[in-house]
């Protein structure tokens, strides 16, 4: 059986990050999705065609997605045939994250509606259009999913990710003292072990 491991990076990442996963999947093809989308509506236009083109030669596809890459995947690929999905630090409640960012930016929904866009001091741009879109397009995700979450994730609370996992019957693994960005040697070793156990096709390095 020909199997594709499709990796979808998060904000600021690149498709080349997929190289990390190649040694974990002997006998499988590992490909990173290169995309330009910065919003869910752009992802919904871009991702399905790219997925179908990449997946066409394969019998089975496992999705590995990171952060907002997981959110974009849930928005744009709910109808695609996936064996399973492995989400690393996923954004699972975008509306809550935007509302949290409004608090961090010391602004309000009324002000955002009036100004349409607000630049923040922490590098993000709040968008009324984005918030409205998120509210009117709830995620409908039914692919069997496993989630890796760091207890020190500053973007998503444990309560939020736990609620999502329960609602979607997803298996949640928490790395205590892990962060949103898995990058230290200890964190990457934990991630690799989790991938190995979660997919059943991987070999730990």
In a domain, 32, yes or no: yes
Structurally, how many domains does the chain consist of? Answer: 2
Q: Using alpha carbons only, give the angle 33, 34, 40 rounded to the nearest 5 degrees.
A: 85
Domain shared by 43 and 104, yes or no:
no
pLDDT tens for each residue of 88-119: 999 999 999 999 999 999 999 999 999 999 99
In whole angstroms, give the CA distance from residue 153 to residue 70: 15
Domain shared by 167 and 129, yes or no:
no
**For the stretch 73-94, what's the b/e string if a residue is b when 16 or more beta carbons lie within 10 angstroms of its beta carbon?**
bbbbbeebebbbbbbbbbbbbb
Q: Check: CB of residue 49 under 8 Å from CB of residue 37.
A: no
pLDDT tens for each residue of 132-191: 999 999 999 999 999 999 999 999 999 999 999 999 999 999 999 999 999 999 999 999
In a domain, 191, yes or no: yes
Domain shared by 146 and 122, yes or no:
no
In a domain, 30, yes or no: yes
In a domain, 128, yes or no: yes
In a domain, 204, yes or no: no
Global confidence as pTM: 0.95
Domain shared by 12 and 60, yes or no:
yes
**Domain of 179, in residue numbers:** 3-92+141-199
pLDDT tens for each residue of 43-56: 999 999 999 999 99
The pLDDT, as a whole number, for residue 201 is 60
If phi > 0 it is left, if psi is from -120 to 50 it is alpha, else beta; for residue 21 that is alpha
Q: What is the CATH number of the domain that holds 42?
A: 3.40.50.1820
Domain shared by 7 and 101, yes or no:
no
Domain shared by 7 and 106, yes or no:
no
Q: Is 55 helix (H, G, I), strand (E, B) or coil?
A: helix
Domain shared by 40 and 81, yes or no:
yes
C-alpha to C-alpha distances, 26 to 4, 186, 201, nearest whole angstrom: 11, 23, 8
The pLDDT, as a whole number, for residue 1 is 87
In a domain, 205, yes or no: no
């Amino acid at each position: 059986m020909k199997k594709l491991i499709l990796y979808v990076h998060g904000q600021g990442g690149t498709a080349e990050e997929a190289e990390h996963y190649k040694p974990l999947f002997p006998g499988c093809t590992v490909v990173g999705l290169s995309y330009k989308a910065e919003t869910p509506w752009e992802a919904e236009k871009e991702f399905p065609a790219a997925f179908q083109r990449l997946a066409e030669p394969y019998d089975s596809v496992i999705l590995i997605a990171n952060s907002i890459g997981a959110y974009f995947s849930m928005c744009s690929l709910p109808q695609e045939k996936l064996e399973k999905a492995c989400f690393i630090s996923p954004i699972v409640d975008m509306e809550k994250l935007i509302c949290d960012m409004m608090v961090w930016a010391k602004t309000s929904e009324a002000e955002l509606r009036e100004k349409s866009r607000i630049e923040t001091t922490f590098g993000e741009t709040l968008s009324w259009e984005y918030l409205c879109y998120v509210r009117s397009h709830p995620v409908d995700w039914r692919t069997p999913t496993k989630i890796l979450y760091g207890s020190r994730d500053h973007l998503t609370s444990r309560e939020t990710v736990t609620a999502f996992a329960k609602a979607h019957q997803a298996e949640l693994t928490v790395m205590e003292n892990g962060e949103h960005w898995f990058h230290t040697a200890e964190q990457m070793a934990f991630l690799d072990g989790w991938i190995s156990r979660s997919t059943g096709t991987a070999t730990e390095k």
